[in-house]
Structure 1
Amino acid sequence: MEVDYKRAFENSPVGQAIARNRVIVACNHTFAAIFRSSIADLVGQTFERLYPTQADYESTGRRVGARLSAERSYSDDRVMRRINGDLFWVRVSGFTYTPRNAHAHTLWVFTELAKTGAEGQSLRSSLTDRERDVATLLIEGKTGKEVAKALGISPRTVDIYRTRLLRKYNAANTAELITLLLTA
């Protein structure tokens, strides 16, 4: 029996994207669903629209490119942006076929870090569900009161979670925490 690799790619239970120079040239149904879009709307677009900010897209590209050149593969947990603007946590693993030009031809796998998902070894995936919720809203620029209202908890509880996050990331303030969450 012959394996239909195209069909296997399209229907894989994990999000997959093939990119050339950070432009999506192919992706599967799960990838499109993770980002709340369609394959047709994503193919031909840069990954930039899936990052919280342009600065995050650029700095991640430099950091990941260096690692891909040296090791051919890369993996981390990060905050990304769905097409509707919502931020969420995702585990990203990638491979380059062209280490001398790291972003020239890559394959990426995306797994949403669901609230019920297994915890990994990285600092980001060691966050509790509530810490992840608070961190995502802080990245969106919400105040403690706005975070409390969005999550249905007290502002004091938000302060407790923010303090935990500051300690976990060894950050001096919320601005530094957000920078670390986006770039670490």
Structure 2
Amino acid sequence: MCVPQTDASYAIDYELIFQHAPVGMCISVDRVIQSCNGALTEMFGYGDGELDGKSFQLLYPTLTEFLRTGDRIIPIMNARGRYSDERIMRRGDGELFWCHVSGRALDSTVPLGPGVWTFEDVSEKRPVTAELTPREREIAALLVEGKTSKVIARETDLSPRTVEMHRAKLMRKFSASTSSELVHKLVGVAR
């Protein structure tokens, strides 16, 4: 078995990799961006360095969604040390778009403390086509993850009946006759 030799003149430049990654990346502490790459600032419509020192709240459609997402992330980060979902985010110009977000705590005892987060714009595959309330956006994101009304109710501290009411409103807004059709429309798959 031959093990390749490492060229001593070759060094991995992690800062260069971070800055040129094909997805938005940032380092955060307590949901405040410490440093982010060009892909992230470009995706959200900000200039170089504009997001450094800013709260993730700036990237959410509303303060309520920012707070609810933080509450939802904590138990999952505590259990797994990482988190991933797709949610609607807000660009600097106010445009809403679907974004795949993944994160990992650098210290597993502090889930929202120091962490590494990636953001990928998935709006080409999943356009935001209907005016949704913050709660409807939250329910839609959880439906896309394949969660049932009971699970969504448990995760959002709502009753299953309230979740069903929001699902029905989403079905009307997206002209979907079944829950399956609604999910397909939410993910941008025409039926």
TM-score (ref. length: structure 2):
0.65
If each structure's helix is expressed as a fraction of its own residues, which one has the higher value?
1
> In the aligned structure 2, how far is the partner of 1:78 from the partner of 1:166?
22
SS at structure 1 position matched to 2:12: coil
Q: What is the Cα deviation at residue 96 of structure 1?
A: 0.5
1:10-159 to 2 correspondence within 5 Å?
10-115=19-124, 117=125, 129=126, 132-135=127-130, 137-139=131-133
After superposition, give the CA deviation of every residue in 1:112-169 in whole Å (9 maximum; x if it has no partner).
0042x5xxxxxxxxxxx4xx4323x3348xxxxxxxxxxxxxxxxxx97623288359
- Are residues 165 and 34 of structure 1, via their aligned partners in 2, closer, same or farther at CA, if it must alter by over 3 Å? farther
| Number of equivalent positions | 138
> In the aligned structure 1, how far is the partner of 2:43 from the partner of 2:65?
19
Tell whether 2:177 aligns with 1:162.
no
> In the aligned structure 1, how far is the partner of 2:70 from the partner of 2:42?
23
> In the aligned structure 2, how far is the partner of 1:167 from the partner of 1:161?
13
Q: What is the Cα deviation at residue 19 of structure 1?
A: 0.2
Give RMSD over aligned pairs. Answer: 2.5
Unaligned stretches of 5+ residues in structure 1: 118-128, 141-158, 171-184
Q: Between Structure 1 and Structure 2, whose CA radius of gyration is higher?
A: 2
> What amino acid is aligned across from residue 18 of structure 1 in structure 2?
I
Unaligned stretches of 5+ residues in structure 2: 1-9, 135-170, 183-191
- What is the aligned partner in structure 2 of residue 143 from structure 1? none
SS at structure 1 position matched to 2:15: helix
> In the aligned structure 1, how far is the partner of 2:109 from the partner of 2:61?
28
> What amino acid is aligned across from residue 26 of structure 1 in structure 2?
S
> In the aligned structure 2, how far is the partner of 1:30 from the partner of 1:74?
20
- What is the aligned partner in structure 1 of residue 145 from structure 2? none
Question: Alignment identity in percent?
Answer: 31
- Are residues 5 and 48 of structure 1, via their aligned partners in 2, closer, same or farther at CA, if it must alter by over 3 Å? same
